[in-house]
Structure 1
Amino acid sequence: MLNSGVRREQILQALEMQDQVRVNRLAQRFGVSTVTIRGDLRLLAEAGLVQRQHGGACTARRAPPELPLEEKRAQHRERKHSIAARALKLVQPGDKLILDAGSTTLQLARKLARAVAQPDAAAMAPLSIFTNSLPIANELGAVQDIELLLSGGMLRKPSQSLQGPQAEASLDGYVFDRLFLGVDGCDPEFGLSTHDEAEARLNARMTAQARQVIVLADGSKFGRICLHRICALERIDIVVSDASMPPAMRTALTQRGVQVLVAEEES
């Protein structure tokens, strides 16, 4: 039997294809009770992803649309700086890292570049960093003592990131110490999610190639569900957020064995 997160993702995918689903048919398809399906639809409706109807549901407004990278950088700028500063403390000398594409991971890349350039950089360098982000590659490409691995793949313009089968294959043969992952949504039941299907597949592959998965997300990302699921919360080791993170979400993460680090605002 599918777990609840996968089941809800497949319900959303069914709605992408046919615009309407029925409770009885979903219960038969997934081998669960109609009560369980109604619970799934209620949760998805609360997230604004479906509209409840008698005996089923239809499509509704999705999670807030994805913004271009430049606009993302401007949103919650101070939160992202503080999250990146806290995440920097998790990097160990000689680490092999994955930096996923995103506005917060870009801030982390900039802080890594400055840290490695310091006179006492031997305390951290050398580092090996894999990324699918063109802006991150631009920040790190000229930094001595950082070995940069850039994925292949097709360019996705809104995020200025590479993705697709070639990007996923770029991870073959590697094992990384830590993945720093940006997400568009984080929900206790649905797990991590993002706006783009190919991005979700690449992110899921990244989680499989890393010994430790660290999510960087400001408080606005919690309780949000996007169409494409990356993984369940049980695959996450650490979440680094800020003081705007809802207390209920922090409790939910902790109960699932996820360590939560709350960054202090930089002065």
Structure 2
Amino acid sequence: MKVEKRREAMLKAVLSGMNDVAALCEHFGMSEATVRRDLRALADERRIVRTYGGAASVGMHEPEESLDTRSASFREQKEAIARVAARHVQDGDTIFLDGGTTTAALARCLAGRTGIHVVTNNLLAVGALTAADVRVTLIGGDVRPSSMSTLGPIAQVALTRITFDKAFLGADGVVAGRGLCEATAEQAFLKECIAGQAAGVFVLATSNKLERANQQHWTPLERDWTLVTDALAEAPVLARFEERGNVTVLRAGVND
């Protein structure tokens, strides 16, 4: 098979969900070196993104779900993730809560924790925290109605003036070896700014977001960080993160 046709066939396989190098080797009957070379070439052409141990589609700018849809979906899993994350918040901590419904669930778990300081751009989190006398600092900026969070240059400048013991981030997708994907460049860059100001970084993501590259703007995570996901996450998927060496994986049970 000519190189061009072989790579087109490999592209179709990756887009259909076959994103593991070993699986591609078996499917095409090729050596690992050849498969990796073809994947590298497709990535250089920006037709796929390389991930640890394989590849993923670059994303097709999937339309964002409405806030109501996201609030209703995976609710039990988000609550379980939030409970696990809350155990890592200690009295005296200054933490950052990113935008999103899973981090809003964490805010509800922290209600009443008067020994902490929460900095956030998540308007969904503010009511639960302030009603329970938690100290809250709201980062200003432009409001995104689809997530009820703030972002933009004002938010970026504000973040240069404060550091955090821990930051809790959400994401549209989380890919091992690649980072977090988001719908806009502003969202992705803001998460990078947040991570840069935190001593510890936690990513809260339901299992459906793992190895999901449905958007084209990325926040790289090359430092040590912790992934908190739910009981539905499959072991082979989690192994891709654990094999990186800089990722600690916590798997929450629905009934924690």
TM-score (norm 2): 0.77
Q: Size of the alignment, in residue pairs?
A: 213
Instruction: Please say if residues 222 and 246 of structure 1, whose CA atoms lie closer than 8 Å, have aligned partners that are also in contact.
Output: no
Matched letter for residue 135 of structure 1: L
* Distance in 2, Cα, partners of 1:236 & 1:203: 15
Residue 67 in 1 paired to residue 65 in 2?
Answer: yes
Matches within 5 A, 1:147-158: 147-158=135-146
Corresponding residue of 1:259: 248
Corresponding residue of 2:186: 198
* Distance in 2, Cα, partners of 1:208 & 1:128: 18
Matches within 5 A, 1:198-237: 198-225=186-213, 226-232=215-221, 234-237=222-225
Q: Helix, strand or coil: the match of 1:141?
A: helix
* Distance in 1, Cα, partners of 2:69 & 2:191: 22
- Once the two structures are TM-superposed, the CA of residue 249 in structure 1 deviates from its matched residue by 2.4
1:49-77: CA deviations, max 9, x gaps? 37xxxxxxxxxx33x32112221011111
Instruction: Please say if residues 180 and 220 of structure 2, whose CA atoms lie closer than 8 Å, have aligned partners that are also in contact.
Output: yes
Corresponding residue of 2:40: 36
CA 71–236 in structure 1, closer or farther in 2 if over 3 Å, else same: farther
Instruction: Please say if residues 131 and 150 of structure 1, whose CA atoms lie closer than 8 Å, have aligned partners that are also in contact.
Output: yes
Matched letter for residue 185 of structure 2: E
Corresponding residue of 1:139: 128
Instruction: Please say if residues 184 and 217 of structure 2, whose CA atoms lie closer than 8 Å, have aligned partners that are also in contact.
Output: yes
Q: Helix, strand or coil: the match of 1:93?
A: coil
Matched letter for residue 66 of structure 2: P
Question: Which stretch has the larger CA shift, 257-266 or 135-144?
Answer: 135-144
Unaligned segments of structure 2, at least 5 residues: 1-36
Q: Helix, strand or coil: the match of 2:128?
A: helix
Q: Helix, strand or coil: the match of 2:85?
A: helix
Q: Helix, strand or coil: the match of 1:107?
A: helix
CA 236–228 in structure 1, closer or farther in 2 if over 3 Å, else same: farther
- Once the two structures are TM-superposed, the CA of residue 88 in structure 1 deviates from its matched residue by 0.8
- Once the two structures are TM-superposed, the CA of residue 174 in structure 1 deviates from its matched residue by 1.2
- Once the two structures are TM-superposed, the CA of residue 39 in structure 1 deviates from its matched residue by 4.5
- What CA RMSD, in Å, does the superposition of the two structures yield over aligned residues? 2.1
Instruction: Please say if residues 180 and 188 of structure 2, whose CA atoms lie closer than 8 Å, have aligned partners that are also in contact.
Output: no
Question: Which stretch has the larger CA shift, 33-42 or 201-210?
Answer: 33-42
* Distance in 1, Cα, partners of 2:253 & 2:39: 43
90, 93, 97: which is aligned to 2:91?
93
Identity, % of aligned pairs? 34
TM-score (norm 1): 0.74
CA 35–201 in structure 1, closer or farther in 2 if over 3 Å, else same: closer
Instruction: Please say if residues 195 and 227 of structure 1, whose CA atoms lie closer than 8 Å, have aligned partners that are also in contact.
Output: yes
Matches within 5 A, 1:15-26: none
